[in-house]
Structure 1
Amino acid sequence: MELKGIHHVSSITATAKNNHYFYTEILGMRLVKKSVNQDDTSMYHLFYADEVGNPGTDLTFFEIVRAGHTYEGNNSISLTSLRVANDEALTYWIKRFNEYEVSHENISEQFGRKVLFFKDPEGQRLVLVSDQHNQGVEAGTPWDRSPVPQEKGITGLGPVKLTVPDPEPTVKVLTSIMGFNHVGSYASSLDGQPDIEVYETGKGGTGAEVHIEHRTDLPKERPGRGSVHHVAFRVANNDELAAWKDKIQAARMPNSGLVDRYYFKSLYFREPNGILFELATDGPGFATDEDVEHLGESVALPPFLEDQRHEIEARLVPLNTSVDK
């Protein structure tokens, strides 16, 4: 009953085509699954990850075509981290961002690590974090057919930052129910704001941290394109997920019950500041219905949607996801 780290982060895009270009051609991540939102099959659900979509490497996007602007604020997942192998890789990314006119800051330091803040074209708040000194959860392996050199590539998800007006109830859920431990803090970049507190689970390190930002000066975030929908944490197997369901229910927290996402099984609940958490199993994984060599090239549907394939595909705008594009 120990969460192993970050499983995936799911965000919102208004344009799947442009989103696909940025995350595969500029960031060099692999599209490992081109599917649909199982709760609304009119929208794409795209999964970008390492070479095979290992747990802890998946950044996913729901396409909501009419999604408006995000008004940043409290009660949000306000920053998503992407891991790279070392400090040298960040220098490569500065040059690449300049080449592709990606909005970014200079390399800085945060919690003893070199970091590089940047945004995607829809304003998604992102940061590259160096694993130069990481001794926690292992990283993934970038795809060797990426446009980014493999040794410079994105190796997985790093810490997520939660921005909340009252950290105490969120911290209580993380520590008393989910088993996270407090491991330190660092100064906010904003004058007059409290330090950002760091919590970790499992083996710890960049792949297993949640950072809590207490903001006293913000309204509640109004999500839209470029905002984060939820964060998922890794559970070893189905038996452990069932035990987590019992634990969440015993704490009187409303939850989804067990949900079969085909590539993994899940449990959803909201912590007291309204942020959506998911617990997701490590398996069976994305190669369940596609050969590893051809992940993400065709629309993949779980068996319970297969009889609707014709209608579903007719509503989707085609994406050029061939490796020969």
Structure 2
Amino acid sequence: MTSGDDLSSTRGLHHVTAVAADPQRNLDFYTRVLGLRLVKKTVNQDDPFTYHLYYGDELGRPGTAMTFFPFPGVPAGKPGRGQPIETQFSVPLNTLVEWEARLRDAGVAFSGGPSSGQSDRLQFTDPDGLPLALVAEAPEPAEAAEPASALAIRGFAGLTLASHRPDSTARVLTELLGYTPVDSNAGVVGRFKSQGSARADHIELIESSAMGQPGYGTVHHIAFRVPNRSALLEMLDQVQAARLPCSGEVDRFYFRSVYFREPGGMLFEIATDAPGFTVDEPAESLGQSLKLTAEHEPMRARIEAALPVLEG
């Protein structure tokens, strides 16, 4: 495994995919409470009678996309060792007081934040118990202008991971995915910074005594971004050379990707930036209608009959 130019390492986080219990509750929380935009309403390509919901900035750009498989009836999961734990969103500096008020008004319990003397981080969970945090950060020098809303989430600040084999996970992050070690915070085994994107994100490896269990309220997988298919195929060669169990190239329509299981037990994905979510609907109407791939379009009537209607 080697890192280097654009074709041999990733550019930070692409998306994070988690499991939810109720799609309407999930939609209400991420759009109305966190203020993200539903940018794609589609189905799980491996289980087309289940929604796959994508949230993000106005276009769902890589590095902003939080996605969910809502499985009604699935048991509750338990975040713990062998899983990604906390998903962290970047918000502008000096906005956590307003975010505290927003969460309080929505009935969301939180810890940290200015009310507790912690000015840089606010921690809470979504309605399914998925650990989340808002991290107050200055914009990166190369980042685009601040969003129109003063409170708007910019994208991912990073993730915490609880690995079965943290040393091996650290090698994957640095030698394969192109992350750089940086100074760790208290209680963190290792901390790593992404390279090559406007907004750098951080991956923190932490200790966890609890074993993770899959289910709603847990992360299914995390994806790292590459610019195009050529870079993806270069990364696929590296994944295979490292003898990591992988899927080969997969066409997810909105991006191409490679899935692999890292030694610490977590499912990682590498995904292309292109073509993006405007490939099958215009930017102004993203997320308003159910979009299906050509493979699933002949099944539309059956799929729509099986899926609950979403409002808002």
Question: TM-score with structure 1 length normalisation?
Answer: 0.88
Does residue 309 of structure 2 align to residue 318 of structure 1? yes
Deviations 1:35-76 (A, max 9, x none): 000000111000010011111100000011112122232111
1:274-289 matched pairs, under 5 angstroms: 274-289=265-280
Deviations 1:265-324 (A, max 9, x none): 010001111100000000100000011111000001122221211111111001014xxx
Task: Tell me, yes or no, if the aligned pair for 1:6 and 1:209 is still in contact at 8 Å.
Answer: no
- Deviations along 1:102-123, one digit per CA (max 9) or x if unpaired, are 0111316xxx981110111111
Do structure 1's residue 184 and structure 2's residue 183 form an aligned pair? yes
* Cross-structure match for 1:123: 129
Task: Spell out, residue by residue over 1:115-135, the C-alpha distance to the aligned partner (whole angstroms, 9 max, x if none).
Answer: 110111111100001122x53
What root-mean-square deviation, in Å, do the aligned CA atoms of Structure 1 and Structure 2 show?
1.9
Q: Is the 8 A contact 1:90 1:116 kept in 2?
A: yes
What secondary structure sits across from 1:186 in the alignment? coil
Equivalent-residue separation in structure 2 for 1:243 and 1:203 (angstroms): 17
Cα distance in 2 between the residues matched to 1:89 and 1:274: 36
Structure 2 counterpart of 1:246, one-letter code: D
Name the residue aligned to 2:190: 197
The separation in 2 between residues aligned to 1:160 and 1:51, in whole angstroms, is 22
- The residue number in structure 1 matching 2:4 is none
Percentage of pairs with the same residue = 39
Contact preservation (8 Å) 1:51, 1:141: no
The C-alpha deviation readout for 1:163-214, integer Å capped at 9, x for no partner, is: 12431111121122222211110102xxxxxx34211221478643211113
Paired residue for 1:70, among 65, 74, 77? 77
Structure 1, unaligned stretches of length 5 or more?
145-149, 189-194
What is the TM-score when the length of structure 2 is the normalising length? Answer: 0.92
Once residues 145 and 67 of structure 2 are traced to their aligned partners in structure 1, the CA distance between those partners, rounded to angstroms, is 16
Residue 173 of structure 2 is matched in structure 1 by 174
Q: d(CA) in 2 for partners of 1:164 and 1:66?
A: 28
* Contact 2:86 2:131 survives alignment (8 Å): yes
1:255 correspondence with 2:255: no
Q: Distance in 2 between matches of 1:313 and 1:138?
A: 40
1:214 aligns with 2:219: no
Q: Secondary structure at the match of 2:169?
A: helix
Check 1:207–1:311 CA distance in 2 against 1; reply closer, same or farther (3 A cut): farther
Aligned to 2:140: 135
2:120 corresponds in structure 1 to 114
Q: Which amino acid aligns with 1:157?
A: F
Distance 2:142 2:132 in 1: 20
Question: Structure 1 184/33 Cα, relative in aligned 2: closer, same or farther at 3 Å?
Answer: same
Note if contact 2:164-2:265 (Cα within 8 Å) is conserved in structure 1: no
Matched, 1:100 2:106: yes
**Alignment match of 1:227 (pick from 218, 222, 226):** 218
DSSP-derived class of the 1:223 partner = coil
SS in 1 for 2:16: strand
Q: What is the SS of the residue equivalent to 1:67? A: coil
Contact 1:140 1:155 in 2 (8 A): no
Structure-2 residue corresponding to 1:297: 288
Q: Which of 14, 32, 53 is 1:25 aligned to?
A: 32
Q: Quick one: distance in 1 between partners of 2:186 and 2:197?
A: 20
Give 1:136 deviation, angstroms: 6.8
Q: Is the 8 A contact 1:75 1:273 kept in 2?
A: yes
Native 8 Å contact 1:50 1:140 kept in 2: no
- State the distance in 2 between where 1:119 and 1:82 align: 13
The question of whether the paired residues in 2 share the 8 Å contact of 1:196 and 1:214 is answered with yes
Does the Cα contact within 8 Å between 1:78 and 1:163 map onto a contact in 2?
yes
Asked whether 1:309 is paired with 2:288, we answer no
Equivalent pair of 2:180/2:195 in contact (CA under 8 Å): no
Deviation at 1:140, TM superposition (A): 8.6
AA aligned opposite 1:257: G
Q: 1:153 to 1:198 in 2, by over 3 A?
A: same
> The residue matched to 1:154 in structure 2 has which SS?
coil
What is the CA-CA distance between 1:152 and the residue it aligns to? 0.8
Deviations, residues 214-267 of structure 1 (Å, cap 9, x unaligned) = 33x33x211211110011001010011011111111111110000001110010
CA distance in 2, matches of 1:54, 1:7: 8
State yes or no: 1:9 paired with 2:16.
yes
Where does the alignment leave 5 or more consecutive residues of structure 2 unmatched? Answer: 1-7
